Structure 1
Amino acid sequence: MGLFNWGQSQEDKQEYEALKSELATLENRLDAFLAKLNERVDALLSGFIEEAPSVMAEDDRFGQAYYRFSSAMKGQAGSMREKLREVLEKQIEPVYSRYSDTLSAGSEGYSILHEWRHRCARKADEWEEQLQHRVDEATEQVERKDYEPVFAQMMNDYWQQCQLINCRQCGANLNIKQVYYYSAYVACSHCQTQNIFEPGTIARDIEHTARKLAEQRSKHFMDAHERRKREERSLYQQMHELQLTLSMEERVKRSGPKYEQLLSLESKRLQAESEAPELLDRYYRNIFDELTKLLPDLEEHHEKFFKSLQANYQRYESKRSTNL
């Protein structure tokens, strides 16, 4: 009967065992490859965490050296991701295509082949997700800083600097009451002379540090957003695996214990899918609210920036279609 629909002949059994053996061998190779990639990731991230402090200590105020260092690390991680995708494309997919062209849909062999392909793809997806998580964790560990005292010190230094600025005409203190980020004309309250006030680098860094502090204060929203995204992906994966076990009758009638379980998973998935973008919106909204608290004179600028950013990320929101 051959590969189309195995029977009980010795030849059929041999073909069946040969298929299972080939698929198992390839999957074992994939597992070994993922293990080697994990070793490389361990070395990459441990080196990054160890060397980053010295890079940052010798960096300029713009952080260009650290940016290049961090980008190089992320580039190497991206190369590993590409190598994994190459393995799937050149070693897994060709085998799947070769057998799927000869196996009849619904046969035991086709089911084994389909599940094998899905299993390999899932392992790759999970590895990529874990890689991104580890890269993010390492980056956060290196960059972690409490910006509350940093910002407070910056503002204190700025106001102390302002107390030393006097009118070039009459010598009276200019009594500066707001944060200037760039050179500006400031009128003397005594003689009305226009003075050019140059705030220096500290003032230009204030806005950048305020943004970091606002992000730090809003991080719990982003963490919740990422959790809901992971939950949605996990539920979708569970649904996909459950769908593979449905009988033809359950698929047609859309009923039965497994189908009810599928509907329950879909309900939870839809909730997570709905909440994730809401949490992202709250994250950005909170960032700009915090920025306005820190730098109230830039409220109008912050609001325009938020609306522009919001329109951009909402444009790319997408939802899955499960067709249950």
Structure 2
Amino acid sequence: MGLFNWGQSQEDKQQYEAFKSELNTLEGRLDTFLAKLDERVNILLSGFMEEAPSVMAEDDRFGQAYHRFSSAMKGQASSMREKLREVLEKQIEPVYQRYADVFSAESEAYRLLRDWRHRCARKADEWEDQLHHRVEEATEEVERKDYEPIFEQMMNTYWQQSKLVNCKQCGANLDIKQVYYYSAYVSCNYCQTQNIFEPGAMGRDIEHIARKLAEQRSKHFIDAHQQRKNEEQSLYQQMHELQLSLSAQERMTKSGPGYEKLRLLDAQRVQAENEAPELLDKYYRNIFDELTKLLPDLEEHHEKFFRSLQANYQRYESKRSTNL
């Protein structure tokens, strides 16, 4: 066909214009679809932020209702992301494959096709990044709370109520010297009777808020971890685009300006990839350290919590690498 030979006849020009028109039409449809997705995201997040306060106000102390509500919102956002990927896979990629099989890699038509594919993929990636940022921003806005005064007030209440606990045998005040989040035996200093001290919901709530406060104090580590993960993904995408633009000579000899830039990007990517789990480990370790400062009597319990966090992450990473 003249189109693929890049001829100068009228028929060739018409075919080339039809080819460009097809690409422009599909890209326009993608832009329209992204705009509609944005409208849905606006409705989803505005509704979430409007209803979340009332859900949280009527929730139990474990926040189960809010967790379900938040998970439902994130599930809908994930569904939009999947629909976008489906559009790329079923409408963009097949067109690229259809023409890529017949165009010469050095032809202007192929460069046009390749740039079109990269542009569509970049628009999708940017939309996904924006979606992630908006969901995180909305969630953080809803959940934003200063746990420092809440924890201090709960501790004051705990110590005040502990002074009102009396020995079941002699009636003397029991000397409660530590925070319990479970039932424990406390000896009476006067008659030595063993009394069961039941902190009830108060102790469990203190431990729960302490974790929230420890996470809040450790947030800079998890933010740095996510930033490094984002950098790794961005560098990978840059490498992918650069690889496609390398000349046949550069790919064959593995040398030249483009290939050297590729090596540099890969070194930066590997560094980000290595630092991300280290920062996550620092986040978990800092949570443990902060919990120990807040509730030193529960250090052993916190150590088990820290180990479980590490184990869960390791299982997740192992499963993720197996699926790649």
Output the TM-score relative to the length of structure 2: 0.90
2:181 is paired with a residue whose SS is coil
- The one-letter code of the counterpart of 1:181 is Y
Partner of 2:132: 132
2:300 paired with 1:303: no
Cα deviation code 1:45-78 (max 9, x no counterpart): 1222122222222323232332232222222212
Partner of 1:48: 48
Q: Following the alignment from structure 1 to structure 2, what is the Cα–Cα distance between the partners of residues 281 and 69?
A: 29
Partner of 1:143: 143
Q: Following the alignment from structure 2 to structure 1, what is the Cα–Cα distance between the partners of residues 79 and 287?
A: 33
Partner of 1:322: none
Which stretch shifts more, 153-162 or 7-16? 7-16
Which stretch shifts more, 291-300 or 61-70? 61-70
Q: Following the alignment from structure 1 to structure 2, what is the Cα–Cα distance between the partners of residues 61 and 276?
A: 33
User: Contact between 1:291 and 1:302, CA under 8 Å: does it hold in 2?
Assistant: yes
Q: 1:308 to 1:106 in 2, by over 3 A?
A: farther
User: Contact between 2:170 and 2:191, CA under 8 Å: does it hold in 1?
Assistant: yes
Q: Which runs of 5+ in 1 are unaligned?
A: 320-324
User: Contact between 1:3 and 1:102, CA under 8 Å: does it hold in 2?
Assistant: no
User: Contact between 2:103 and 2:110, CA under 8 Å: does it hold in 1?
Assistant: yes
Aligned-residue CA RMSD (Å): 2.1
Q: Following the alignment from structure 1 to structure 2, what is the Cα–Cα distance between the partners of residues 205 and 230?
A: 35
Partner of 2:166: 166
User: Contact between 2:250 and 2:259, CA under 8 Å: does it hold in 1?
Assistant: yes
Q: Following the alignment from structure 2 to structure 1, what is the Cα–Cα distance between the partners of residues 97 and 256?
A: 33
2:285 paired with 1:270: no
Q: Following the alignment from structure 1 to structure 2, what is the Cα–Cα distance between the partners of residues 52 and 104?
A: 55
Q: Following the alignment from structure 2 to structure 1, what is the Cα–Cα distance between the partners of residues 149 and 123?
A: 44
Q: Following the alignment from structure 1 to structure 2, what is the Cα–Cα distance between the partners of residues 151 and 217?
A: 13
Deviation at 1:159, TM superposition (A): 0.9
Partner of 2:14: 14
Partner of 2:83: 83
Q: Following the alignment from structure 1 to structure 2, what is the Cα–Cα distance between the partners of residues 289 and 79?
A: 38
Identity %: 79
Which stretch shifts more, 53-62 or 155-164? 53-62
Cα deviation code 1:154-176 (max 9, x no counterpart): 11111111100000100111101
Deviation at 1:136, TM superposition (A): 0.9
Q: Following the alignment from structure 1 to structure 2, what is the Cα–Cα distance between the partners of residues 143 and 222?
A: 16
Alignment of 1:169-248 (within 5 A): 169-248=169-248
Q: Following the alignment from structure 2 to structure 1, what is the Cα–Cα distance between the partners of residues 26 and 180?
A: 63
2:60 is paired with a residue whose SS is coil
Q: 1:276 to 1:295 in 2, by over 3 A?
A: same
Q: Following the alignment from structure 1 to structure 2, what is the Cα–Cα distance between the partners of residues 247 and 98?
A: 22
Q: Following the alignment from structure 1 to structure 2, what is the Cα–Cα distance between the partners of residues 68 and 15?
A: 54
2:18 is paired with a residue whose SS is helix
User: Contact between 2:3 and 2:13, CA under 8 Å: does it hold in 1?
Assistant: no
Deviation at 1:2, TM superposition (A): 4.0
Q: Following the alignment from structure 1 to structure 2, what is the Cα–Cα distance between the partners of residues 82 and 251?
A: 34
- The one-letter code of the counterpart of 1:250 is E
Deviation at 1:41, TM superposition (A): 1.0
Deviation at 1:213, TM superposition (A): 0.5
Cα deviation code 1:223-259 (max 9, x no counterpart): 1111112222222222222222221112222222222
Q: Following the alignment from structure 1 to structure 2, what is the Cα–Cα distance between the partners of residues 306 and 230?
A: 25
Q: Following the alignment from structure 2 to structure 1, what is the Cα–Cα distance between the partners of residues 16 and 239?
A: 28
Which stretch shifts more, 111-120 or 203-212? 111-120
